[in-house]
Amino acid sequence: MVSRPGADPLNLWGNARGGSPVSTELQSRAYLTSRGTNANDGIGLSDVHRAYRDQRGTSVPALAGVCMHADHGELLAVVGPSGCGKTTLLELICGLQAPDRGLVECAPAALMAQRDLLLPWLSAVDNAALALRIAGRPREQARGRAGELFAELGLQGFERAHPHELSGGMRQRVAFLRTLLSGKPVLCLDEPFGALDAITRAEMQGWLGRALQREPRTVVLVTHDVEEAIVLADRVAVLSPRPGRVRAEIEVDLPHPRSRTDPAVIALREQALVALGMGNA
């Protein structure tokens, strides 16, 4: 899709005419009736339907009757075949889209997209502190707050570096820090480690687990890596191919940190792969 220039081509700020994937009027009406706030800082989706229009204008269902929930402090992983509507799901949780039908009850959520989306003209520390600047904090105060966390993430000494000077793993960490510093009770992570090499990914997974133990949040982690889901999550929701619906939910009641060679982890991984239709059982 070629983005049409305009005041708000994606209708992210509400009142633009056109440019939204589905009729704006319908969308805003549905949005008002279907989005509630969840008092306990968790998320709840019940019977959520969402379709988008392709270039020919035909309606393509992305999600058909998704039900899922996560309580405060829980890490819910979502796995599914590619194109099953995982990204749509996160955008619904973050309030960037509204469901066509069904109910989305969510505490305020911050999104960490597949790409780090760091602003190239800001230094690492300014990127991490972006939410604080948007909230109106003075620049130095915002930098101070973000800078405190740099050492914990192994980013010390790179505060002033610009994104093009950082490695992929460091950029992801800065992007995660930016999401964390948004102060939102819910974090939506969209394949955060998908673009990294295997060694960096393993490091980042360990680091994410530790960061969340220090600062518990409700996390929705979308991933295509079943093993990653089992190692990190409290619960794994397995989505069906498009249109996506929850095919199975797997409780992961194992102590942290988990090893991927632990027989219990391997057993659960097999269970998830079977639910995805790829098991060798």
Which residues sit at the interface with other proteins, rule CB under 8 A?
Answer: 3-10, 12-13, 17, 91, 94-96, 109-111, 113, 115, 117, 119-122, 130-131, 133-135, 162-164, 178, 182, 184
The structure tokens 């995982």 sit at 86
Backbone φ/ψ region at 56: left (φ over 0), alpha (ψ -120 to 50), beta: alpha
| Closest CB 260 distance from other proteins, rounded Å | 31
Residue 107 Cβ vs other proteins, minimum distance, rounded to whole Å: 13
Looking at the Cβ atoms of 48 and 188, the one nearer to other proteins is 188
Is the Cβ of residue 115 or residue 260 nearer to other proteins in the bound state?
115
Q: Any idea which residue has 């402090």 for tokens? A: 73
CB of 196 to other proteins, least distance (A): 18
Nearer to other proteins, 54 or 251 (CB): 54
- Is 100 or 190 the residue whose CB approaches other proteins more closely? 190
Question: Phi, psi (5° rounding) for residue 236?
Answer: -120, 125
Sorted by sequence, the CB contacts under 8 Å of residue 56 that are 6+ apart come out as none
Q: Give least dist CB 258 to other proteins, A.
A: 29
- As to burial, measured by CB atoms within 10 angstroms (0-12 exposed, 13-18 middle, 19+ buried), residue 28 is middle
138 versus 257: smaller Cβ distance to other proteins: 138
Query: Tokens 């109106």 appear where?
Result: 136
Residue 271: count of CB within 10 angstroms of its CB: 18
Burial 187-221 (b: 16+ CB within 10 A, else e): bbbbbbbeebeeebbeebbebbeebbeeeebbbbb
Cβ 7 to other proteins shortest distance, Å: 5
Among residues 17 and 260, whose Cβ is nearest to other proteins? 17
- Cβ pair 20, 9 in contact under 8 A: no
Least distance from other proteins to the Cβ atom of residue 135, Å: 7
Alpha helices in the chain (DSSP H): 24-34, 86-93, 124-128, 130-134, 139-152, 168-180, 198-214, 226-232, 263-276
Which residue, 75 or 128, has its beta carbon nearer to other proteins?
128
